[in-house]
Amino acid sequence: MNDSASCLAPTAEPASLSADEARQWMFSAIAAVSGQEMVPLRSALGRVLASALIAPYDVPAYDNSAMDGYAVRGESLGGSQSVVLSVVGAAFAGKPFSGFVGPGQAVRIMTGAVLPAGADTVLLQEVVQVDGKTLIVPPGQRAGQNIRRAGEDLARGAVALAAGKRIGPAELGLMASLGLAEVAVRRRLRVAILATGDELAAVGAPLSPGELYDSNRYTLHGLLSRLGAEVIDIGSVADEPVALADKLREAATMADAIITTGGVSVGEADHVRPVLAGLGEIHFWNLNIRPGRPMAFGRIGQAWLFGLPGNPVAVMVNYVQFVLDALLRLSGVDPLPPRPLLSVVSAGPIRKQPGARAYLRGVVSLVDGCWLVSTSSPRGAGILRSMSEANCLIVLPEACAGVEAGECVQVQMFDGLF
């Protein structure tokens, strides 16, 4: 962003934390849950490794060919001259050539096949000429080319995967290459979700005047299921302190973390913060961001509590910016994965008042060979459709006073977050 589009931000109110301060506070407080289990390899996707995996042998276990071609001795090559070699056999993956490659000899070899004894080079089949058992090798070939050495991927005794690694498809394949049928992982997180508000109605029930359907619990269920957590749906509770306290006590006995929506601001019907303070401890409750300013973070017993606003967009923004990484840390992921911000050209002007970090819904698209981002509309924090239509968040820092068309802004793509 150009300097002309920003200015110094005013001082935030004392109770308000910056996004970076809030994240640091949360991560310094939270430690990984204890407990682990053995799971079959196919069930390990998305889980967190409980201990480091050490390679029991070299991967690959033997020198092999990286290409289809001919295995030869490097000393048999002619440098700047063509040479003629004799083909004395063939090697296939799983069916090695049992003989020895001598000077002036070649063995037909397939990708992945064991490099025959005596050979140290593979010639691509596309660059040579074959006439029966005669191989004509053009000049310019190099000794040692097109082979994969034993231990090139992993050397025996090396750390294949560190403890705290979250298992993805590549990790599954790597563990399979080590011959593992099962793996030790940390237990799944148990996360309770609870919506607050007199206005909430159950999905499927008719709406009374002033009511709206409880969508936040479904959004959170989807987000937490993608994370791989065990979701405990506590339901919804009216704006009544005693009932809310009962629900939170119940949740704290079952879960590692509790996520509430609504009732976290300072209105007469907002009870999450005082109830949390009475039941346990509260670390902060106000952030210098838009949307999602009111957010409580604290603890009841052994359960961490994340009190999110009631607006559906703010729920998703706060989850992505704060709750997701906090839960990953709680589940034992170490180190936490970086959340890259990409620089993209703004397709149009963006209005913003300096003072708070803004997370705007955006759509990144390719226009005439250039990646542009535009804000999705409408922009109200209660309009969940705008999140469905967006594919990123536009992140505008506290000091930013607006953006003009053609300026670069930072975006956080949804891919990999939801």
* pLDDT, average across residues 161-183: 95
Same domain, 99 and 172: no
Q: What does the pLDDT read at residue 166?
A: 96
Express each pLDDT in 344-371 by its tens digit: 999 999 999 999 999 999 999 999 999 9
CA distance 104 to 70: 12
Contact 311, 294 (CB under 8 A): no
pLDDT score of 199: 83
* CATH number of domain containing 376: 3.40.980.10
CATH number of the domain within which 138 lies: 2.170.190.11
My answer on whether 342 and 234 are in the same domain is: yes
Counting the structural domains of the chain, the total is 3
Q: Based on the fold, state whether residues 142 and 220 are members of the same structural domain.
A: no
Find the CATH number of the domain harbouring 161.
3.90.105.10
Clarify whether residues 390 and 324 are in a common domain. Answer: yes
pLDDT, average across residues 55-73: 95
**Same domain flag for 223 and 123:** no
In this prediction, residue 380 has a pLDDT band, given cuts at 50, 70 and 90, of low
pLDDT of res. 13:
42
Same domain, 295 and 232: yes
- The least confident of 99-103, 185-189, 201-205, 312-316 is 201-205
The pLDDT, as a whole number, for residue 1 is 35
Q: Are residues 232 and 98 in the same domain?
A: no
Residue 4 has a pLDDT of 31
Query: For residue 271, is pLDDT > 90?
Result: no
Average pLDDT for the chain: 91
Q: Are 25 and 283 in contact (CB under 8 A)?
A: yes
Q: 136-150, 367-381, 399-413 — which is least confidently predicted?
A: 367-381
Domain that holds residue 29: 1-35+187-418
Asked whether residue 193 falls in the same domain as residue 319, the answer is: yes
Domain boundary among the residues 100, 133, 148 is at 148
Token pair 């809310």: residue: 244
Q: Is the pLDDT of residue 265 over 80?
A: no
